[in-house]
Amino acid sequence: MQRDSNSQEKDILHKYNEIFLDNIKDILNIKKKVDLYDVRDRVTADAVKKINEVYAFLWNPDVVLDNVLPEPEPTKLRALYTGLMRPEVILRSIVRYSLYTDDILVVSPFTNPNCMAEKYNPLEHPEQHIDTTLKCVVFMLKLEPWIRAGIVQIIPEPGDFDYPLRMQVFEMAEKRSKSIPKEAFDIHDADFSYSKQDMLRSYLHGPQEYVINLFRRAVPSLKDKSDKEVLKVVNSMKESDPLLSPYVDITKNPQLIMSTSGTNLEMALYIQQLTGSYLYTDMKFRWLEILSALDSEDTTELWSPLTYAFQNLDFRFLDGVNPDFAFRLREEGRVELLRSFVRQTWSSINQTEVISEEKVRTFTDELTNTFNATKSDYDKIDKDLAKWLLSKENLGKVGGAFLSGSLNLILPASANFVTDAIGKLVDSHSKRKTFKVKYPLSVFLELHNKQK
C-alpha cells in the first residue's frame, strides 16, 4: 500500500479517505455491492491487523495536521458532527442533516495504533479488536458514497499527533465536567440504548452452555425448551446480526470494546476553530454539555431573535429513506436556497466586526422569507420520495418518511469559552492564523413526533 505523495494539500484528506476505503475493500475482497453479512464474515483477526496497519501508516506521527485538515473557508457552510459514532446510526445522522450544510466533518471512529500501548494494540493483538474493527469498517462502508463525493470528510483526532494538546484538552474537560447538569446523565433514549445491544452481543459470544442457560432464564418462552430448541433461537440471532462476528469466543479472545462520540467537547471546539466549522449534534447528552459550557449570556441574548426564529420553523428531515435517494437529493442541490442563506449569513457574521440588534433583526426577517420560499422545494422532494418508493425496483423493499423537526441553535456558542481557552490552544498548537470563528455556532437537530 502506497500513499499518494503527489496530492495537492487541499486534496490530501479526501485522498487519504479514499485510499483507506480502497484498502479496506481490497483486504476484505469487496468488489462491487457491499453485503454487510459478507463483511462480517471477512473481518478476521488477520484482516483486523491489515486494516489497522493501513490506518497507522496513513496517520503516522509525522503527519502535519495543518496540512491535512480542510482549510477554513468563510463562505463554506461546514458542519462538524459530534454525536453517536455507531454504524447503526451514523448514516441516519448524516442523511437527516445533509440538506442543510455544504459538507460534514466526522472524527474517525478508528483508534490510532500509533497511540496505543502494546498490550492493547490491534497490531499486536488483532484478535481482541475484531468486534470494534467490524463496527468501524461498517461505519466507513455505509458512508462511502458520501465520503467519495466529498460531502463527508473523515478526520483524525488531533490529539493523536500532539500529546501535550491531548493532555490540555483532558484537563479542560475535567474542570468543565463539574458544571454538567445531573439530568444530562439521566437521559434514557437512543443515545444510550445501543449499549444494550453490545451487552447482548457479548453474551452471545460466550460458551454455548452458558448462552443456553442464560437465554432459558431470561426469556420466559424458552424456560421449558430443550437445549437444541434454545440453541436454534440463539443461532438465529447470531446469523441475523451483521455486527456480530463469528470469530469471537470471549473465553479465548476477549474483546476490547471501544465506543466514542467522535471526540470530547473541548477537542471539537478546537477542530471547529482550525477548520472554520460549526458543531452539529443530534445527541441530547452532547447538547446539554454545550449548554453547560455557555458563559456569555449578554451576547447570547443579542442573537435570541434569530435563534428563536430557527427553533420555531418547521424544518423537514429525511428519515429511514434509501441512502441512494438521499444522496441523489444532495447531489442535485435540493434546498439550496435555504442553504445559501445560512451560508451567506454565517460568512457575514464572521466578517463583521460588530453585530448590532438591527443586523440580527435583518437576518431574522431574511430567514423567514427564505424558509417560506423553500416550502415548494419540500413539496417537490415529497413527490420525488413517493415516486421513488412506488417504483418497480423499490416497491416493497424500502421505506422512509419526511419528518418535521427543529434546529435549535446557540449563537454564539460558549463565546468566551471558545475565544479564551480554545483560542489559546489554537495559537499554541497550530500555525493557522488566517481565520478564526468569531461567533461560534452549535446546532441541535430535534425531530418532532409527526410525519409530513
Per-residue model confidence as pLDDT tens digits over 408-431: 887 764 444 445 677 777 777 887
* Residues 258, 135: Cα–Cα separation, whole Å: 10
Confidence of residue 6 (pLDDT cuts 50, 70, 90): very low
Give the tens place of pLDDT for each residue, 188-202.
555 556 777 888 898
Is residue 74 reached through a cis peptide bond, with omega within 30 degrees of 0 on the bond before it? no
CB-CB contact of 300 with 412 (8 Å): yes
Q: Residue 330, SS3?
A: helix
If pLDDT is split at 50, 70 and 90, which confidence band does 139 have?
very high
**pLDDT at residue 4 in the model:** 41
Give, as one character, the DSSP assignment of residue 117: -
Element spanning 405, H or E: strand 401-410
Give CA–CA dist 41/403, Å, rounded.
Answer: 35
In whole angstroms, what is the distance from residue 415 CA to residue 440 CA? Answer: 7
Mean pLDDT, the chain, rounded, equals 83
At 248, give phi and psi (nearest 5°): -110, 130
Q: How confident is the model at residue 194, as a pLDDT?
A: 76
Portion of the chain with pLDDT greater than 70, in percent = 85
When pLDDT is averaged across residues 72-87 and rounded to a whole number, the result is 86
DSSP code at position 422: I
Cell reading at 258: 471501544
Q: Is the pLDDT of residue 330 over 50?
A: yes
Element (H, E) at 446: strand 442-451
Q: Comparing 265 with 452, which gets the higher pLDDT?
A: 265
In this predicted structure, what is the pLDDT of residue 256?
86
Q: What's the average model confidence in pLDDT over 112-137?
A: 95
List, in sequence order, every residue forming a beta bridge with 451; answer none if it has no partner.
403
Is the pLDDT higher at 386 or at 420? Answer: 386
The angle subtended at Cα 70 by Cα 360 and Cα 346, nearest 5°, is 5
Q: How large is the average pLDDT for residues 337-351? A: 82
Confidence at residue 408, expressed as pLDDT on a 0 to 100 scale:
86
Instruction: Output 380 or 397, whichever has higher pLDDT.
Output: 380
pLDDT at 243: 94
List, for residues 236-260, the tens digit of each pLDDT value: 999 999 999 999 988 888 888 877 7
How far is residue 165's CA from residue 274's CA, in Å, rounded to a whole number? Answer: 14
**pTM attached to this predicted model:** 0.88
Beta-bridge partners for 152: 104
Q: Are strands 78-81 and 278-281 parallel, antiparallel or unpaired?
A: parallel
At 45, is the pLDDT very low, low, confident or very high (cuts 50, 70, 90)? Answer: very high
Identify the pLDDT of residue 257. 80
Q: Return all residues near 256 (Cβ < 8 A) that are at least 6 apart.
A: 120, 128, 129, 132
If you average pLDDT over residues 51-80, what whole number do you get? 92
Q: Which three cell numbers stand for residue 355?
A: 453585530
pLDDT score at 327: 84
Which residue carries 444522496 as its cell? 327
End-to-end CA distance of the chain: 48
> pLDDT digit string (tens) for 256-296?
887 777 788 889 988 988 898 888 998 888 888 887 776 55
Q: What is the pLDDT of residue 210?
A: 92
Confidence of residue 322 (pLDDT cuts 50, 70, 90): confident
204 close to 234: Cβ distance less than 8 angstroms: yes
To the nearest 10 degrees (0 to 180), the angle between helices 323-331 and 90-97 is 30
The more confident residue out of 295 and 397 is: 295
What percentage of the chain carries pLDDT values higher than 90? 38
Size of the chain in residues: 452
Mean pLDDT (whole number) for 160-164: 92
pLDDT of residue 299: 56
The arithmetic mean of pLDDT across residues 33-44, rounded, is 93
In single-letter form, the type of residue at position 348 comes to S
Q: How far is Cα 296 from Cα 354, in angstroms, rounded to an integer?
A: 16
Dist CA 277 CA 296 (whole Å): 20
What mean pLDDT comes out for the span 203-220? 92
